[in-house]
């Protein structure tokens, strides 16, 4: 009985540690900016920089733009959302774990 309870608590703790895209996107951004580039050009620039740094991510189209989603074994770690609206492109980067913030923020800033 104790083993089953301990196992259940372990599984529950692992599941609650997992983060979804929405969970991370809803956090306060660690980086926010605006650029004259198109959402696609900006996203491509950041994606190329992240790729050269060895950051694994997936790219998804969203309404009026794109997202770069970085995941690890515990779920989504970072989400960069870039959208084009009323003639300007805005981007925001939210992260779940602060340990990689600076290394992925720098390319996002340089691509502006």
Please state the separation of Cα 64 from the chain's center in Å: 17
Tokens 């301990």: give the residue.
6
Burial class (CB in 10 A: 0-12, 13-18, 19+), 80: buried
Return the SS3 of 88: strand
Tell me the domain boundaries of the chain: 21-111
| Architecture in CATH for domain 21-111 | 2-Layer Sandwich (3.30)
Q: What is the pLDDT along the chain (112 residues), one digit of tens a residue?
A: 565 555 454 544 444 457 888 989 999 999 999 999 999 999 999 999 999 999 999 999 999 999 999 988 778 999 999 999 988 999 999 998 776 678 999 999 999 9
Sheet holding 58-62, edge to edge: 31-35, 88-95, 75-85, 65-72, 58-62
Query: Tokens standing for 61?
Result: 């189209």
Q: Are 28 and 83 in contact (CB under 8 A)?
A: no
């Amino acid at each position: 009985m104790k083993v089953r309870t301990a196992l259940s608590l372990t599984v529950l703790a692992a599941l609650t540690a997992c983060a979804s895209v929405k969970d991370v996107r809803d956090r306060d951004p660690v980086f926010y900016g605006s650029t004259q580039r198109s959402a696609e050009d900006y996203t491509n620039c950041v994606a190329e920089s992240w790729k050269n740094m060895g950051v694994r991510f997936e790219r998804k189209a969203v309404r009026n733009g794109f997202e770069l989603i970085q995941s690890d074994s515990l779920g989504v770690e970072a989400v960069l959302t870039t959208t084009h609206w009323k003639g300007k492109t805005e981007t925001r980067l939210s992260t779940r774990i602060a340990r990689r913030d600076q290394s992925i923020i720098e390319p996002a800033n340089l691509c502006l």
